[in-house]
Structure 1
Amino acid sequence: MNSLIDKSILITGGTGSLGKALTKHILTEFPNIKRLVIFSRDEQKQFQMAQDYPQNRFPQIRYFIGDVRDKERLIRAMKGIDCVIHAAAMKHVPIAEYNPDECVKTNIHGAQNVIDACLETGVQRVVALSTDKACAPINLYGATKLASDKLFVAANNITGWNPIRFSVVRYGNVMGSNGSVIPFFIKKKKEGKLPITDVNMTRFNISLQGGVDMVMHALLNAWGGEIFIPKIPSYRIMDVAKAIGPNCEHLVIGIRPGEKVHEEMITPSDSFYTYDLGKYYTILPATHKWSIEDFVKAFNAKKVSEGFAYSSGDNTEWETVEGLRNLIRKHVDSKFEVDNNY
């Protein structure tokens, strides 16, 4: 697929942080799309989003209330859709640990419903959003997203005559997304205390635009079955605390249930199927309909070394305290200021 001109796109979880960023990008870069459907279950968020993107100014856009747990609703929403971006998920680790069945219903059963609906309605391209927590998961959220990744990759094996392609994008914490650490710290800064789970904790860091770029790359370039992973910097949680509240008290509260000190996106076991594409890595499926040799030639892909791993704690690129401040001003809060006496 070389272009989205005259195509119809549906985003599940379209009222979330990434869904809104994708909406802005698509309407700006591809104003000639036929239709953009925002599919989500939160009517209040849809109402608020419609204030920014009203149909009288953006006639391509549609707001569709629905839940990925409801396969029939998905099928109705996907009639006439060419591309699906699956961003809907339960993503908060502690909430998933406390409500495991609800997380399974949305993240696993919902993923299969999206796959089935796409296969039944003539969708051509599907990109599912993953998370670094799906790599060697230790919490339920990560385990459900790993299962989701497996379902989307394997869906390419049951397409038959259908030319549809399923792929996955996996990345780390999105800077400034709902529920993430940076907005949380900015809010807590007013109290003069920042809760730190572990002083050694690290995380991958990607901007909303970086996430959008990855999704669009997969949408336009995937051959089917790839898991795309960006090359992005890490940050130390203590550097985030210093960047936001250098004069705040840092309270060590301990790791929450299901939380890692360092996140991973590629394990040594993945290295046998992992290729370097330049800007991204990709984990190729064990079974595929296309030639590995043709893929390598088309993308100038280079096989990583056996045992290669990609972890936020062993990264070669790191955000600095000052760099984090600048990124927060740019991507999270343009009014953000550090303490005057720092």
Structure 2
Amino acid sequence: MLNGKSVLITGGTGSFGKKFTETIFKRYPDVKRVVIYSRGEVLQFEMKQMYPQDKYPQIRFFIGDIRDKDRLKRACEGIDVIIHTAAIKQVDTAEYNPDECIKTNVNGAQNLIDAALECGVKNVVALSTDKACAPINLYGATKLVSDKLFIAANNIKGVKDIRFSAVRYGNVMGSRGSVIPFFMDRREDAFLPITHSEMTRFNISLQDGVNMVMYAIENALGGEIFIPKIPSYKIMDVAEAIAPGVETKIVGIRPGEKLHEEMITVTDALNTIELDKYYAILPSISYAYTNDDYMKHHKAKLVPTGFTYNSGSNSDWETVESLRTKIIDCIDTNFTI
């Protein structure tokens, strides 16, 4: 699928970008070019040590900001596939710096769309978040706008051979700033801070997130928001899995935080189809395809009326033991209780 292709990853030095790059070289050794596009020279330097030029001649590192349309267009020249991961992602950071969040998450998304259309890119997959579904914080709201921009881009491409799609999933296990590494760092302390004892979240491994993007690259018709069928976890089970016996202290929900996350609302369900491992929210306006076209292409069916996908009402749950096993497999092979 990616052999002989040139791939650009925005925010490529992040957790997802590094895992995606690793997966590309494992599965597609004949990839033509992999361009890592990000702002941080230190993170790029660290990633360069993982991919020395003599062993990975296909990789390139571009310092650049998705706010800079000219630089972004330069990076998109000759690119076949774009994976868009760059974003301001911390909820509290976005609340305190709303204008900066909008510049990156919304304006940056439009810059990428324009650059992809101008440079003859064939396929664009944008990473979304569960917080974009019925958002209550600025980060989620900007990602919802970003999703809308990418999906609507399919209607302005004209005769260009390009597809825009998105993937939306929950908390990535072990990603920077997420709860599991935070708890692991604090498990020797006197207590673990818990925002709310009833809080739940969706859970996905970094590799499963990468696999989902690979699926979208290969199977998207254009305009879908793909959502994985994944388990939820209870925050108290995460605490017990990582630090059994350690006291927990309720510190309260942070501004802009939900008790449960949602990825498909009842209204979304009207345009949602069910695949084997995924759901896909279809565009409300599409000039190229009908819902029947999407269902035929994906060999899928519409979800029932009234369907919703919520971490608190999910039918699939992580247990304390399954969480421990995944921590060992996905994050820290030296993790012991």
Task: Flag whether TM exceeds 0.5 (same fold).
Answer: yes
Residue among 35, 41, 44 paired with 1:43: 41
* 1:168-247 correspondence runs (5 A): 168-247=166-245
Residue among 253, 256, 262 paired with 1:255: 253
Structure 1: gaps spanning 5 or more residues: none
Identity of aligned residues (%): 63
Q: Which secondary structure does the structure 2 equivalent of 1:268 belong to?
A: coil
Which deviations, in whole Å up to 9, do the C-alpha atoms of 1:170-212 show, x marking residues without a partner? 0000000000000000001121311000000000000001100
Partners of 2:229 and 2:284 lie apart in 1 by 22
Q: Which secondary structure does the structure 1 equivalent of 2:86 belong to?
A: coil
Q: In the alignment, what sits opposite 1:160? A: 158
Q: CA RMSD in A?
A: 0.8
1:319 equivalenced with 2:318 (yes/no): yes
Partners of 1:152 and 1:51 lie apart in 2 by 33
Q: Which secondary structure does the structure 1 equivalent of 2:267 belong to?
A: helix
Q: In the alignment, what sits opposite 2:8? A: 10
Partners of 2:122 and 2:263 lie apart in 1 by 27
Partners of 1:189 and 1:309 lie apart in 2 by 35
Equivalences, count? 336
Partners of 1:315 and 1:50 lie apart in 2 by 40
Partners of 1:93 and 1:292 lie apart in 2 by 34
In the TM superposition, residue 293 of structure 1 has moved relative to its aligned partner by 2.4
Which deviations, in whole Å up to 9, do the C-alpha atoms of 1:59-86 show, x marking residues without a partner? 1100110000100000000100000000
Q: In the alignment, what sits opposite 2:294? A: 295
Structure 2: gaps spanning 5 or more residues: none
Q: Which secondary structure does the structure 2 equivalent of 1:212 belong to?
A: helix
Q: Which secondary structure does the structure 2 equivalent of 1:161 belong to?
A: coil
Partners of 1:293 and 1:255 lie apart in 2 by 42
Alignment-mate amino acid for residue 297 of structure 2: A
Query: TM-score normalized by structure 1?
Result: 0.97
Query: TM-score normalized by structure 2?
Result: 0.99
Q: In the alignment, what sits opposite 1:64? A: 62
Partners of 2:293 and 2:222 lie apart in 1 by 13
Partners of 1:283 and 1:32 lie apart in 2 by 33
Q: Which secondary structure does the structure 2 equivalent of 1:190 belong to?
A: coil
* 1:270-309 correspondence runs (5 A): 270-288=268-286, 289-309=288-308
Alignment-mate amino acid for residue 5 of structure 2: K
Partners of 1:193 and 1:57 lie apart in 2 by 46
Partners of 1:293 and 1:73 lie apart in 2 by 40
Partners of 1:335 and 1:294 lie apart in 2 by 48
Partners of 2:221 and 2:293 lie apart in 1 by 11
Alignment-mate amino acid for residue 329 of structure 1: I
Alignment-mate amino acid for residue 43 of structure 2: K
Partners of 2:188 and 2:63 lie apart in 1 by 37
Q: In the alignment, what sits opposite 2:330? A: 331
In the TM superposition, residue 291 of structure 1 has moved relative to its aligned partner by 3.8
Q: In the alignment, what sits opposite 2:96? A: 98
* 1:80-159 correspondence runs (5 A): 80-159=78-157
In the TM superposition, residue 297 of structure 1 has moved relative to its aligned partner by 2.2
Which deviations, in whole Å up to 9, do the C-alpha atoms of 1:76-133 show, x marking residues without a partner? 0010000000000000001111111111111000100110110110100000000000
Alignment-mate amino acid for residue 212 of structure 1: V
Alignment-mate amino acid for residue 109 of structure 2: A
In the TM superposition, residue 5 of structure 1 has moved relative to its aligned partner by 1.8
